Chain A
Amino acid sequence: MNGYEWIFYGGIMALMAVGIWAILSRRNLIKAIMGLVIIETAVNLLLVAVGYVNDRSAPIVNGDTGLGDSPVGEVVDPLPQALVLTAIVIGLATTALALVAAVGYFRSTGTLELKSFTYGRTDETEVKE
């Protein structure tokens, strides 16, 4: 890896760490969902990065290339870009669904704070036997 790649991969890792930190440390649902979106962005960047090849152009083919004039040696790997497209769409659906749940939670409890996100606790009345 050269210097630029280190910066790129380092940035991705930093973004991911920010997202995970947001989810672990924020009890506010909207802020936690923002953390989720940051993680998504980091992963999408990672996907594009693994398909990147130095000094090559975008994998867009103009007109008839024919077999003799294959663009394979001139463009970056197109597959990760297709994967990113799928991942963005899926990410949109997940984010929308998480926001719907957050709105529902707010309407039923009057707050966006998820209290005590830990094991074995109850915020409703305990069972009386």
Chain B
Amino acid sequence: MTVDPVLLIVIPLVAAFLVPITSIFMKGLAKWIPLLGLIGMAVVMALDFGDLYDGPVTSITGGFGPPWGISIIMTPFGGLLATGMIGVALFVMISEIDGKKRAHQTVYNTMVMMATTGAVGMVITGDIFNMFVFLEITAIAGVVLAAIPRDGHEKGLNWRGAAVYALVGGVASFLVLAGIALLYGATSTLNIYQIAERIEGVDTFVVGAAFLTMFIGLGIESELFPLNGWAPEVYRGSKWGTGSLFSGVIGKAGLLALLRISFVVLSPGLENGIVMDILLWVGAATYLFGEAAAFSSKDLYRVLGYSSIGVFGLLVASFSLGVADGIRGGTMLLLGHMLAKPILFSMMGFAGRKKKGDVPLSSLKGLIRSSPSAGIIMTIGILALIGMPPSPTFWGKYFLFSAAGSEGQWLLISILIIGTLFEAGYLGRMLFNIFDTRKERKADTLPLARGIMGALFVFFIFLIGFLPGPLEDIITFVIAELIDPLNYISWGSI
């Protein structure tokens, strides 16, 4: 059964609008609206997911078909990513159901819904200016999310993180807009598929300038080196849920936009392979930088933030290899990261909730004894992130290494190995602390909702790890979208 995918944008937008209004009259109801909205989105996605096996799900808005109106083109890649985003947002919202009153809850709920609207919108829209508007929605939600402090720090809002992200996010979106203006000037259209169709006749200078501005803009959003100086500022002072949203929802939307703009739209208008080479080495550098910085950080929030930066680099490098196995590996790594990172953020937020200021590695000490369920869930999350079989990350790294090997990219392989060693270093330290039971620690029960969500994501890690087969059909479409722009063009023009 096909449901109009535009509902994936309408539902969270309406929910975000209703939360602050109902919180004035019916506080009890306002708490549940975001949850209802996300469940609604999950239902729409579940109904449409089957259709993604046959290709993209499209929708025309306002009765104007292409090339006139804005069309929604949910490609299987976009659909897979949107599913993951809804999952991460649900994880974040459900995990905090524990009957406790939290400060800034209404604002937080509104912004989670806005960030989800923007991120899902960015990955399913077929119009490049529409994409800019969604990018702005995510950026604005991101600024407010960054300002909301962790539990227990209610008095001091993270103004520094908010100010830094407001500046950098603002520059990012206006650079993207500059790129859009250049592309519109050259091709007289805003439909992504039509720009892709007409790009080959355009002056290389204009395409190059558009690539530069959009690469910087979307690179900032997807935390690429050296455009990610803002990220640690945001991760270290905000809630664990904000960290999960930045790494699992907001950043992933920027990543897909970057890949789509680079490979589908701009790459055919530039010299052979130059876009791929730039992205490949920027990705590799980001991976190395992120993992090394995570290794040398002591505050757990920052460790996980830098680790996310590293994974973004790994993903970009993997997709930019331009071969089927690289894209297959990238998709698996993407899923693995979206499942494992929220678990780590959530359990770390639980273990370090009483700490004032930074959360040192030692706050995980003896977690396996003080709260066995949290310890076990976190251990599985850590092993899944590093790529122990069976986990999606294992398959991702396996395909990535074989793709890099068959392409003869030995420098890339050595960077991957060094990065993985750093990764093993800091994740190993975390594991060591979890199982270090030398010092007695008071028993601590994991709240039920948080435990259930953690266990659910662990289940998905094993499910995809053991049975990656059913995803293969979707991944074939992901490969088709990124390798041959003609596929996206034909999907868009229907």
Contact = CB atoms under 8 A, between A and B. Distances in A.
B170 A94 contact: yes
Interface in A72-129: 77, 79-80, 83, 86-87, 90-91, 93-95, 97-98, 101-102, 104-105, 107-109, 114, 117-120, 124-129
A94 B136 contact: yes
B298 A126 contact: yes
Contacts of A80: 181, 184
Given A46-B181, A94-B136, A114-B163, A104 B298 contact: no
B294 to A, nearest CB: 11
Nearest to B155: A108
A47 interface: yes
Contacts of A51: 184-185
Given A90-B133, A105-B163, A124 B357 contact: yes
A43 B167 contact: no
B184 to A, nearest CB: 6
B178 A16 contact: yes
A129 B177 contact: no
Contacts of B405: none
Which of B144, B166, B232, B296 is packed against the most chain A CB atoms within 10 Å?
Answer: B166
Contacts of B33: none
Interface string B386-399: 00000000000000
Contacts of B147: 101, 104
Contact of A114 (B160, B178, B190, B360): B160
Interface in B121-148: 129, 133, 136, 139-140, 143-144, 147
A43 B181 contact: yes
A46 B160 CA distance: 31
Contacts of A91: 174
Nearest to B300: A127
Nearest to A106: B159
Contacts of B229: 117-119
A46 B178 contact: yes
Nearest to A124: B357
Given A36-B170, A50-B184, A127-B299, A104 B157 contact: yes
A101 B166 contact: yes
Contacts of B293: 119-120
B361 A94 contact: no
Contacts of B185: 49-51
Contact of A104 (B162, B232, B299): B162
A105 B298 CA distance: 25
Contacts of B167: 23, 29, 32-33, 36, 98
Contacts of B188: 77
B358 interface: yes
B170 A29 contact: no
B50 interface: no
Nearest to B186: A50
A90 B159 CA distance: 21
Q: Is the interface of A mostly helix, strand, loop or mixed?
A: helix
Interface string B350-368: 0000000110111000000
Contacts of B139: 94
A81 to B, nearest CB: 12
Contact of A98 (B157, B170, B174): B170
B273 interface: no
Contacts of A108: 156-157, 159
A83 B129 contact: yes
Contacts of A49: 185
A93 B136 CA distance: 10
A58 to B, nearest CB: 19
A17 interface: no
Given A20-B171, A43-B178, A98-B170, A105 B358 contact: no
Contacts of A87: 177
A80 B361 CA distance: 52
Interface in B157-196: 157, 159-160, 162-164, 166-167, 169-171, 173-175, 177-178, 181-182, 184-185, 188, 190
Nearest to A123: B160
Nearest to B298: A127
B178 A97 contact: no
A87 B184 CA distance: 15
B174 to A, nearest CB: 5
A120 to B, nearest CB: 6
Contacts of A119: 229, 232, 293
Interface string A39-57: 1101100110111000000
Interface of A: 16, 20, 23, 29, 32-33, 36, 39-40, 42-43, 46-47, 49-51, 77, 79-80, 83, 86-87, 90-91, 93-95, 97-98, 101-102, 104-105, 107-109, 114, 117-120, 124-129
8 contacts: A36-B167, A40-B170, A51-B185, A94-B169, A97-B143, A101-B147, A105-B159, A105-B163
Given A43-B181, A118-B229, A127-B299, 14 more contacts: A36-B167, A39-B171, A43-B178, A49-B185, A51-B184, A51-B185, A94-B140, A97-B143, A98-B143, A98-B167, A104-B157, A105-B160, A120-B297, A126-B298
The 5 nearest A-B residue pairs measured at CB:
A50-B185, A98-B166, A104-B159, A101-B163, A105-B159
